[in-house]
Amino acid sequence: MTITYHIDDVDQVARQIIAQSEKDVFIFNAPMGAGKTTLITSMCRQLGVTEEISSPTFSIVNEYLSNDKPIYHFDLYRLEREEELFDIGFEDYLDKGAIILIEWPELALPFIEEYTHISIEIIDPFSRILTVN
């Protein structure tokens, strides 16, 4: 699925992604400033998260409660080695039956069997092309 959208329509895009995905793990590839965290925030809202949602850039992972299961939002940008994933207990998070949202997922890919891949391309300051595989 490929969607061209205006950033004001991010909630509608988030609903589409959630409705069409059969997997609980989502990986996000996009350049800095493309709107990964904005899209993830909207997805969390669509899933019933009412608490404040923020980027886990420094904490590496944030946990939220959705309507029916936990959500773990990872930002792996600052990690340099796979060993650092073990240090934060990454594999344990995968076994919790939660929704997993991962920004900068390259190091995590060897540990994830099934996922929905989301890429975002910047067209201009207000428009994006989103591809979901």
Tell me the pLDDT tens digit for each residue of 77-133.
999 999 999 999 999 999 999 999 999 999 999 999 999 999 999 999 999 999 999
* pTM for this entry: 0.94
Mean pLDDT along residues 6-33: 96
Please classify residue 87 by burial: count the beta carbons closer than 10 Å to its beta carbon, then call 0-12 exposed, 13-18 middle and 19+ buried: exposed
pLDDT at 6 over 90: yes
Mean pLDDT along residues 10-20: 96
pLDDT at 31 over 90: yes
Q: Are 5 and 131 in contact (CB under 8 A)?
A: no
What are the pLDDT digits (tens) for 57-72? Answer: 888 999 999 988 999 9
Q: Are 72 and 66 in contact (CB under 8 A)?
A: no
Give the whole-angstrom CA distance, residue 117 versus residue 39: 13
Q: Mind listing the domains of the chain with CATH numbers?
A: 2-132 (3.40.50.300)
Q: Are 38 and 120 in contact (CB under 8 A)?
A: no
At 57 the pLDDT is: 82
